[in-house]
Amino acid sequence: MLLHDNAPGYAAKVIEELGEAKKKNQTPLYNGFLRILGTAKASAMEDLAKQFFYSGGMVEKSYALDMVLNNKFRSLADQVRELTDEKYGSLSRKAKAVAEEMGL
């Protein structure tokens, strides 16, 4: 709820807690944070999305696409385009939809 009310004010703390949840293998908590962060609108999400594109798994990349679309992070257009390659399977379809919606 804090992210929905004031994403810029709370994003950094939630991202910190996300890292702790992953480090401690708290998968349900980690996935919950991912789901919430994927819908949050804040410029702080751009660095997290970039991190997910470069070092995340398929789930993290999917949420990174959500962050790009929700926040219109045009600076990450190359990462979105890269995921449109068919070798990424269902993630490819999502990346194509994001690219199309953003006019990339």
Half-sphere exposure of 8 (CA within 13 A, CB side): 2
Q: Are 66 and 91 in contact (CB under 8 A)?
A: no
The better pLDDT of the pair 57, 83 is held by 83
**What pTM was computed for the model?**
0.73
Q: Are 32 and 65 in contact (CB under 8 A)?
A: no
Q: Is the pLDDT of residue 57 over 70?
A: yes
- 82 Rama class: left (phi>0) / alpha (psi -120 to 50) / beta: alpha
Q: How far apart are CA 8 and CA 25, in angstroms?
A: 26
pLDDT, mean over the chain: 81
